[in-house]
Structure 1
């Protein structure tokens, strides 16, 4: 699974019974900050069958997932927009973790970091998907 290389992957196991997909997720934004950190956010329509009880109290049809890359060693970014669908590839390479996001010939994001962790996973209601 894509989250096997994440620091804190146990959170996904506990909250979603290992069922959390970034396949065809919408690439929402990227932030490079604090000297060597990158925050990337996705929106996905793939809602797991197992969700936290507190989420069942309000309507939602998607998830907002934010990943934090800490200790960035390599960053390559080519492109001029976000808001496209993608399936990020996340894998462990020795002592580092790499994430790759490509969209046709228009966008490329490649980053190698010491750690990739879950920043947040939140339910939300997307009116486009109603």
Structure 2
């Protein structure tokens, strides 16, 4: 059951996808970075594989035995970006805040570090992940 604290996605544009598909819960406690893309107009796209499956998932995903969730986040109007090391392939727990004025992600694994501050956070895509 969801606690009363704000969830990482509460102010993200597209948060209704999580609210509808996963009964308002999607953990980012164990994610694998699949890709990190920096677009020319101060945008950062982060493709993640969420390894912790929520209790409530779409019936079709359950029937096809989805093993994880593919999550694509887009940070737009980036004001700060710092990247050290290689993130793709690492399993980690990011810290994400989606505010009404500023959104932010922070990752520090010891091997790699990412800090991004942006005006907007979009949940671009949520889809089932099948396989390992």
TM-score normalised according to structure 1 size = 0.86
Indicate the residue corresponding to 1:89 in structure 2. Answer: 95
Deviation at 1:11, TM superposition (A): 1.8
Q: Which runs of 4 or more aligned residues in structure 1 lie more than 3 Å from their structure 2 counterparts after TM superposition?
A: none
Matches within 5 A, 1:1-130: 1-92=7-98, 95-104=101-110, 106-127=111-132
Q: Distance in 2 between matches of 1:22 and 1:80?
A: 19
- 1:59 Cα deviation from its structure 2 partner: 2.6
Gaps in structure 1 of 5+ consecutive residues: none
SS of the aligned residue for 2:9 comes to helix
Any idea what the Cα deviations from partners look like across 1:94-115, whole Å, max 9, x if unmatched? Answer: 72111111111x2110001110
- Alpha carbons 2:33, 2:87 under 8 Å: kept: no
User: 1:123: Cα distance to partner?
Assistant: 0.5
Q: Tell me how many residue pairs correspond in the alignment.
A: 126
User: Which residue in 1 is equivalent to 2:3?
Assistant: none
| CA 87–36 in structure 1, closer or farther in 2 if over 3 Å, else same | same
Structure 2 spans left out of the alignment, 5+ residues: 1-6
- Give the stretch that moved more between structures: 77-86 or 54-63: 54-63
Structure 1 or 2: more helix by fraction: 1
Contact 1:5–1:90 (CA under 8 A) maintained in structure 2 = no
Equivalent-residue separation in structure 1 for 2:20 and 2:98 (angstroms): 22
